[in-house]
Amino acid sequence: MTDIFEKSKRTHYSNEIGPELAGQTVKITGWVHEIRDLGGIVFVLIRDKNGITQLTAPSKKLSEEMMADVRAARKETIITLTGTVQESAKAPNGVEIIPSNIDVINVSKLPLPLDPTEKVDAEMDTRLDARFMDIRKHDVSAIFKIKNEILHTARNYFYDHDFTEINTPKLVASATEGGTELFPITYFEKEAFLGQSPQLYKQMMMATGLDSVFEIGQIFRAEEHDTLRHLNEALSMDAEMSFRSHDDMMDLLEDLIQNILANVQANCQSELEDLNHELDIPKEAFPKVTYDEVVDIVNSHDVEMEYGEDLNRAAEKVLGDTMGSYYFITEWPTAIKPFYVMPLCDNPEKSTAFDLMYRDLELSSGSQRIHSYDLLLEQFEKKDLNPDSFTKYLQAFQYGMPPHSGWGVGVDRLTMVITGAKNIRETVLFPRDRRRLTP
């Protein structure tokens, strides 16, 4: 078995082989992408994670044995090719490789579950059922390379701003926000739930003196959606800061998004080209629009929205067409926000809550949080919640809880925006919705 690793050890990836290597011997390993046998010459395209390289086999220059090896190539079989680079204007990267040796590493079964050459479109269900092969397509893998850049940038941003990364439980005893959209599970002799959000734990961390924390982790919502923008398991990026207002957190979020966009633009050009997508990078500060103004905007476009309602799809579309790309909605009514959201001190009917939107898509929600134990108890009563279900959470507010604010970002939705994906399932390796629990 050790020999197979020696055989498959490459000297270059596809994108590292250009005309400057003409005359040199290289060794590449990848999947057979496509084969064209023209009789006297055979072309084999070999795909790796970074691109495609052309193997050119002219029968007049190669032995019968070598030609037989080339013609035996089967689509999606893994091969290692050793050969000489020569310039070829029509080949990928302007070069082709004339083989001196071919090692078959693993033969693929036929027929394939889908076509990785993208010449035949596959339905979303077919793609997700054979996700391991779907991601071999460069326009699909590009999404996950960009998502990696988003997460890499975010983590570095948090570390550079003196945040501490935390990991909170995903098995919880009660609802985060008092809702009913929970996945119950059997936990030994008790009932437990999959966590909706790390919100309560983030707030408890503010009582520890760490001041600034972040988490990137899974959240679970038992909502019976069947849309292009909802999943039942999603990736959330959450931040919480002591002694920072909701305005400070909006500034932080805007700066983080701008950093992510700049890094994707700088480091993911080939992936954006694979996706044929141009980044939307705002040149000015994200505008802010109050909830009251939102109601007026929506109603002025003949879409009915009453004060105190959340945004429906029609309202979101109107707002997206009116506001453009990134913008904040501020001063939401306190009555429709979770119990932990701080009301505005000069107008308690309105709150410090804000949403970050991209056109008609909500990307993030945040607020200043209530840090007063007595005010929290008032909110529990107003929202008909039982404080006994939140005993451990409330305990943290009785021994010196600092004022604090925070937000959560839907990473999968942010990836949709940055990659131009139209379906959130495109941005998740193995998505979970109301119908899909495998693979």
Going from the N-terminus, what domains does the chain have, and what CATH number goes with each?
2-106 (2.40.50.140), 133-427 (3.30.930.10)
Amino acid, single-letter form, for residue 9 = K
Distance in angstroms (rounded) separating the CA atoms of residues 184 and 256: 35
- The pLDDT of residue 210 is 98
* Residue 171 · residue 211 · CB < 8 Å: no
Q: Which residue has the tokens 């909830």?
A: 291
Q: What is the pLDDT of residues 43-82, one digit of tens each?
A: 999 999 999 999 999 999 999 999 998 998 999 999 999 9
Distance in angstroms (rounded) separating the CA atoms of residues 280 and 326: 9
Distance in angstroms (rounded) separating the CA atoms of residues 332 and 314: 18
- The pLDDT of residue 389 is 86
Nearest to 77 by CA among 44, 39, 41: 44
- The pLDDT of residue 130 is 97
Peptide bond into 111 cis (omega under 30): yes
CB-count burial class (<10 Å; 0-12, 13-18, 19+) for 198:
buried
Q: Where do the DSSP E strands lie in 371-433?
A: 404-410
- The pLDDT of residue 176 is 59
The residues of the chain scoring below 50 in pLDDT are none
Q: On the CB side of 295, how many CA atoms lie within 13 Å of its CA?
A: 13
Distance in angstroms (rounded) separating the CA atoms of residues 59 and 353: 70
Other C-beta atoms lying within 10 Å of the C-beta of residue 258: 15
